């Protein structure tokens, strides 16, 4: 069970309003060409998503949740002791995706072809992953799974008796806010079209719900961050035959199903290592 200090609605509203304001201000800076200039000067190593989400992390997460709301890291899912297993399983997941893509490529064309982007856009690929993990995934998972999902879940306990209904309502409301956050950027790039609406509903919202369920199952926000970051920036070593994020999500769901066994495995290994060091 995920335990957190409950926030008041004022803190929750402030967090979301500040986030929207920062996104809109960022779009103004982007339209002025400043963000693109930073990307160009860094060779793509400083990705636009890192810039935006760094601003969001400083203002909304640190400013509102930590300073104003008096929350600590563990209240928003940042529990350091859960990081080792998240990194281990996350790395194994990435390796499995590479192996599966390699096998599919070999079956399809009779050889394993390396991803040529690494020859021409290596800095950009690295910058994209850094931006996604330390920017997008960190802010969005802390804000909309670690904070909003758990806060709404706690508040629903006083309104709805059925535990499953509490979770459903918390998931829908928190991920609706997550979807709304993406509207300004989507509309700026593509206009307000039916395609944008479909992307918001069937990509952003559904992915948000899946990430939320992964967090509720594993209770490990770092693992969800890694899945999120790799989903947005697969960093494939081989030329992908099918969308790597689809394989990634399937593997992540399998991990989530057997997560209690993984935690027992980690605990046993830690205990065994500690016993050996004492000897």
**Spatial separation of the C-alpha atoms in residues 36 and 26, rounded to whole Å:** 12
Percent helix, percent strand, percent coil in the chain, to nearest 5: 80, 0, 20
For the stretch 132-157, pLDDT in tens is 999 999 999 999 999 999 999 999 99
Tell me the per-residue pLDDT of 223-254, one tens digit each, with 9 for 90 and over: 999 999 999 988 888 888 888 999 999 999 99
Please give the Cα distance from 229 to 23 (Å, whole number). 19
How confident is the model over 59-117, as pLDDT tens digits? 999 999 999 999 999 999 999 999 999 999 999 999 999 999 999 988 888 888 888 88
Which residues have C-beta within 8 Å of that of residue 222, sequence separation ≥ 6?
78, 82, 83, 86, 87, 90
For the chain, give the mean pLDDT: 91
Residues 39-61 have pLDDT tens digits of: 999 988 899 999 999 999 999 99
The residue behind tokens 């609406």 is: 197
**Mean pLDDT throughout 188-211?**
82
pTM of the shown model? 0.92
The two structure tokens encoding residue 220: 């490990």
């Amino acid at each position: 069970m995920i335990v957190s200090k409950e926030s008041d609605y004022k803190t929750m509203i402030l967090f979301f309003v500040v986030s929207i304001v920062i996104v809109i201000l960022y779009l103004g800076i982007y339209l002025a060409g400043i963000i693109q200039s930073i990307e160009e000067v860094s060779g793509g190593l400083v990705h636009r998503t890192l810039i935006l989400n760094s601003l969001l992390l400083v203002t909304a997460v640190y400013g509102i949740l930590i300073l104003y709301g008096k929350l600590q890291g563990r209240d928003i899912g940042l529990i350091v002791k859960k990081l080792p297993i998240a990194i281990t399983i996350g790395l194994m997941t990435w390796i499995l995706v590479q192996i599966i893509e390699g096998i599919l490529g070999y079956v399809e064309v009779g050889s394993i072809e390396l991803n040529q982007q690494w020859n021409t856009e290596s800095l950009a690929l690295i910058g994209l992953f850094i931006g996604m993990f330390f920017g997008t995934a960190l802010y969005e998972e802390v804000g909309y799974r670690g904070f909003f999902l758990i806060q709404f879940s706690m508040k629903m306990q006083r309104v709805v008796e059925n535990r499953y209904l509490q979770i459903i309502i918390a998931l829908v409301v928190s991920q609706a806010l997550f979807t709304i956050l993406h509207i300004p950027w989507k509309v700026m790039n593509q206009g307000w079209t039916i395609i944008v609406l479909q992307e918001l509903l069937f990509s952003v919202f559904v992915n948000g719900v899946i990430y939320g369920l992964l967090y509720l199952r594993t209770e490990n926000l770092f693992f969800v961050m890694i899945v999120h970051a790799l989903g947005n920036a697969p960093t494939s070593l081989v030329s992908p035959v099918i969308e790597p994020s689809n394989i990634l999500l399937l593997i992540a769901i399998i991990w989530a199903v057997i997560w209690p066994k993984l935690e027992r495995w980690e605990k046993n290994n830690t205990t065994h290592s500690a016993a050996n060091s004492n000897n």
